[in-house]
């Protein structure tokens, strides 16, 4: 019995240390994807939910937070036929970046002329000072016999 508990504790510690976030399979398959302007508009209704966020570059500034997270911004700027008369879509959202993701985050382009679109999985935080905010959780979902996990 002790060995089973020890193995379970070790497995939980290993999952935590590599930054995996467990998610139910039903939730994993039902995740909705939002462009930043739409997520900004719906952030109050989505608070606490896990979503996919589409963006194409990050803000240049990265700051240190008291709680050990880094903070930055994900941004979008691209032409979009759904944007109506404006013909383009733009916006940004503040992000909390966990330690295990900071290398990946720093490698993202800060150039708004990129045509590449990225998607990240995040939890919608409570808006702070009139701006929506998200916590980055990972880039993909892996499913195995133990369930689904959000990973970097």
Question: Mean of the pLDDT values across residues 13-24?
Answer: 59
| Whole-number Å distance between alpha carbons of 28 and 137 | 13
pLDDT higher for 86 or 107? Answer: 107
Q: Is the pLDDT of residue 8 over 80?
A: no
CB atoms within 10 A of CB 133: 20
Q: What is the pTM of this model?
A: 0.78
Q: Is the pLDDT of residue 15 over 50?
A: no
CATH: 2.60.40.730, 3.20.190.10, 3.30.430.20, 2.40.50.140. Which one for 21-151?
2.40.50.140
Instruction: State how far the alpha carbon of 122 is from the alpha carbons of 9, 48, 57, 137, in Å.
Output: 26, 10, 16, 5
Q: Is the pLDDT of residue 26 over 50?
A: yes
Q: Which pLDDT does position 17 carry in this prediction?
A: 39
């Amino acid at each position: 019995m002790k060995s089973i508990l020890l193995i379970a504790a070790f497995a939980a510690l290993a999952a935590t240390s590599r930054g995996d976030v467990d998610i139910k399979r039903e939730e994993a398959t039902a995740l909705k994807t939002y462009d930043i302007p739409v997520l900004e508009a719906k952030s109050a209704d989505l608070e606490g939910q896990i979503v996919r966020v589409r963006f194409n570059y990050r803000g240049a500034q990265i700051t240190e937070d008291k709680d050990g997270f880094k903070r930055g911004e994900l941004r979008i700027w691209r032409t979009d036929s759904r944007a109506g008369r404006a013909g383009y879509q733009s916006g940004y959202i503040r992000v909390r970046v966990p330690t295990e993701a900071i290398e990946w985050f720093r490698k993202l382009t800060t150039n708004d002329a990129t045509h590449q679109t990225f998607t990240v999985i995040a939890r919608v935080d409570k808006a702070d000072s009139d701006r929506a905010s998200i916590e980055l959780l990972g880039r993909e979902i892996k499913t195995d016999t133990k369930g689904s996990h959000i990973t970097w």
